[in-house]
Structure 1
Amino acid sequence: MQVVRSHQSHRSFSSSSGSVSASPTLPLYRSAPELEVRLEDFESFAIDRLRVLKGISDGLSRGKKPDEMEKLVNELWKTNMRHQDSSQVPNKDIISHFVLRLVYCRTEELRKWFLSMESALFRHRFRNQTAEAQRAIMEEFDLPCKAVSNAEFESLKEKLGQVARSIGHNLSLSTTDAIYYKVPFEEVPELVTGRKVFINQGYAYVAMNQVVSLVATIFRSLLSKALILTNRKWATSIREQEQHRLTPIVEALCSSYLGPDFSQPKEYGEISLKDIDQVAKSSFPLCMRHLFEKLREDHHLKHAGRMQLGLFLKGVGLNVDDSLAFWREEFSKKVGLEKFEKEYAYNIRHNYGKEGKKTDYTPYSCQKIILSTPGVGDHHGCPYRHFGEENLRAALSRMGVNSRAMEDVMGKVRNRDYQLACTLTFEALHAAPCDAGINHPNQYFSDSQRLLKAKKDSST
Structure 2
Amino acid sequence: MQFPETSFSSPLSDKKNSKRHFLQYEPQFYVHCPPNEAPIESLWEIASQRLELLQEIDRLRSKGTSYQELTSGIEKFLFRRRHQSEYYSYENIIPDRLSDIELRDVFSHFLLRLAFCKERSGQVWFLQNEAVLFQWRLENAPSSQVDLLVEQLQQLCSEENIILRKIVKNLDLEPEFVQLYHYLYQKLPSSSTLLMYQIPFEQVPELVKHRSVIVRSGYAYLFSEQLNSFLVSCFRSFLSKSLGVVRKMEHLAEEHGQLKLLLESLRESQRLYINHFSSYSFEATEREGTGIHLQDLPQAMLDMPLCMFRLMKRLEQNHHLKHGARLQLGLFLKGCGLTMDESLHFWKTEFSKGGISSDKFDKEYAYAIRHHYGKEGKRASYTPFSCMKIIQNRPSAHEEHGCPFRELNSASLDVMLQSYGIQDAESRNSIVQKAREGHFQVACGMTLQMKKAGRRTKLSEETTTPMDNAHYIPSHPNEYFFKSREKNETSLKS
TM-score normalized by structure 2?
Answer: 0.57
Matched residue SS, 2:285:
coil
Give deviations 1:123-169, integer Å, cap 9, x for gaps: 78x5xxxxxxxxxx74984979xxxxxxxxxxxxxxxxxxxxxxxxx
2:361 is matched with which residue: 332, 335, 340?
340
Q: Determine whether 1:426 maps to 2:430.
A: no
Per-residue deviation at 1:355?
Answer: 1.0
Aligned to 1:158: none
Give deviations 1:56-83, integer Å, cap 9, x for gaps: 4345x45x484x5565556666799997
Per-residue deviation at 1:232?
Answer: 5.7
* AA partner of residue 441 (structure 2): Q
Aligned to 1:360: 381
| Alpha-carbon distance between aligned partners in 1 of 2:133 and 2:479, rounded to the nearest angstrom | 27
Give deviations 1:385-409, integer Å, cap 9, x for gaps: 3334443222211212221121112
Give deviations 1:399-452, integer Å, cap 9, x for gaps: 122211211122233334433332322222334677463343223224324444
* AA partner of residue 355 (structure 1): E
Structure-2 change in CA distance of 1:119 and 1:295 (3 Å): same
Indicate if the aligned counterparts of 2:390 and 2:403 stay in contact, CA closer than 8 A. yes
2:417 is matched with which residue: 383, 396, 399?
396
* AA partner of residue 249 (structure 2): Q
Q: How does 1:249-328 map to 2 (within 5 A)?
A: 257=274, 259-261=276-278, 265=282, 267-269=284-286, 270-282=291-303, 284-328=304-348
Matched residue SS, 1:268:
helix
Q: How does 1:63-212 map to 2 (within 5 A)?
A: 64=66, 66=68, 72-73=73-74, 97=109, 99=111, 113-114=128-129, 117-119=132-134, 121-122=136-137, 138=142, 141=145, 195=187, 198-199=190-191
Aligned to 1:28: 26
Instruction: Indicate the structure whose relative CO is greater, using CA pairs within 8 Å and at least 6 residues apart.
Output: 2
Instruction: Flag structure 1 segments of 5+ consecutive residues without an equivalent.
Output: 1-20, 127-136, 145-182, 205-213
Aligned to 1:57: 61
1:440 is matched with which residue: 440, 454, 476?
476
Per-residue deviation at 1:364?
Answer: 2.4
* AA partner of residue 132 (structure 2): M
Q: Which moved more, 1:84-93 or 1:290-299?
A: 84-93
* AA partner of residue 437 (structure 1): I
| Alpha-carbon distance between aligned partners in 2 of 1:425 and 1:51, rounded to the nearest angstrom | 26
Aligned to 1:166: none
Instruction: Flag structure 2 segments of 5+ consecutive residues without an equivalent.
Output: 1-17, 91-98, 149-165, 170-176, 197-222, 255-259, 454-462
- The number of equivalent residue pairs is 370
Taking only aligned residues, the RMSD between alpha carbons, in angstroms, comes to 5.1
Per-residue deviation at 1:308?
Answer: 1.3
Q: Which moved more, 1:48-57 or 1:434-443?
A: 434-443
| Alpha-carbon distance between aligned partners in 2 of 1:80 and 1:330, rounded to the nearest angstrom | 54
Structure-2 change in CA distance of 1:101 and 1:338 (3 Å): closer
Indicate if the aligned counterparts of 1:352 and 1:360 stay in contact, CA closer than 8 A. yes
What is the percentage of aligned positions where both structures have the same residue? 27
Q: Determine whether 1:241 maps to 2:249.
A: yes
Matched residue SS, 1:295:
helix
| Alpha-carbon distance between aligned partners in 2 of 1:300 and 1:142, rounded to the nearest angstrom | 53
Per-residue deviation at 1:303?
Answer: 2.4
Q: Which moved more, 1:32-41 or 1:393-402?
A: 32-41
Structure-2 change in CA distance of 1:44 and 1:340 (3 Å): farther
Matched residue SS, 1:199:
coil
| Alpha-carbon distance between aligned partners in 1 of 2:381 and 2:248, rounded to the nearest angstrom | 31
| Alpha-carbon distance between aligned partners in 1 of 2:81 and 2:375, rounded to the nearest angstrom | 36
| Alpha-carbon distance between aligned partners in 1 of 2:299 and 2:338, rounded to the nearest angstrom | 14
Structure-2 change in CA distance of 1:305 and 1:40 (3 Å): farther
TM-score normalized by structure 1?
Answer: 0.61
| Alpha-carbon distance between aligned partners in 1 of 2:233 and 2:412, rounded to the nearest angstrom | 37
